[in-house]
Amino acid sequence: MTENSLLALFIVGLLGGGHCAGMCGGIVGALSMQSPAGKPSLAVHLAYNAGRILSYTIAGLLAGAVGYVAGNLMALQRGLYVFASLMLVALGLYLLGATQTLAVIERAGQSIWTRIQPLTSRFLPVYGVAQALPLGLLWGWLPCGLVYSALATALASGSAWRGAATMLAFGLGTLPNLLLAGLLLARFRRFAQARVTRVVSGLLVLGYGLYGLLNFWRG
């Protein structure tokens, strides 16, 4: 995997971060409200996001390992590349409000989440890093079309370590949005959920997915 590919996934995470803020903004906002005197705690937010990104990285490691096994068959490997690009196209259209395809995929992930969610109560309320880190690890498995789109790219990477690097880059891309959502609360959430933000993000992610498909057909 080239550095350009990792940069692209970082940008996808950054551009799609408004979707993250919409889904997880309430969680990170609660972390702020539970800090001493109701003031946002940077250490708590960093710990929460570190746990979340670690979960993404682990998921990428697993997806990349599966892709490695499948990669022994060239036709299947090419199919995974097309699938990853189509998932990014679907994500772009989803952000634009043109399709609810990823919402269906998110609902499919609920079967796993229903088994994980009860564990989060063990770390609530959050008083410090000791609760925020494991809570982030658990919330990293929240069904999310944006994450699933990135995981498709990790699957197509053909390597466990490349898959892990893909999701790490993606997770770091989502970090600025989630930090701002937690530290600035409602003000940033309004910006992240604004129509113009979603349109710009959707068009750029859609363009990246179409670029991947174009490269495939050229190859």
- Which has more confidence, 85 or 5? 85
Nearest to 136 by CA among 52, 209, 40: 52
Residues 153 and 71 sit within 8 Å (Cβ to Cβ): no
Write the pLDDT tens digit of every residue in 16-56: 766 565 555 556 656 655 555 455 578 888 999 999 999 99
Give the separation between CA 70 and CA 92, rounded to whole angstroms. Answer: 27
pLDDT above 80: residue 3: no
Supply 178's token pair. 């989630």
Nearest to 30 by CA among 144, 194, 186: 186
Give the separation between CA 158 and CA 69, rounded to whole angstroms. Answer: 8
Burial class (CB in 10 A: 0-12, 13-18, 19+), 203: middle
pLDDT above 60: residue 2: no
pLDDT above 80: residue 159: yes
Predicted pLDDT of residue 100 = 73
Stretch 140-159: mean pLDDT = 88
Give the separation between CA 43 and CA 159, rounded to whole angstroms. Answer: 33
Predicted pLDDT of residue 127 = 81
Sequence spans of domains, the chain? 3-213
Q: Is 39 left (phi over 0), alpha (psi -120 to 50) or beta?
A: beta
Give the separation between CA 33 and CA 158, rounded to whole angstroms. Answer: 42
> What's the chain's average pLDDT?
80
Percent of the chain at pLDDT exceeding 70: 78
Please indicate, yes or no, whether the overall pTM of this predicted structure exceeds 0.75. yes
Supply 159's token pair. 């390597």
Predicted pLDDT of residue 13 = 85
Write the pLDDT tens digit of every residue in 40-97: 578 888 999 999 999 999 999 999 999 888 766 656 777 888 888 888 888 888 778 7
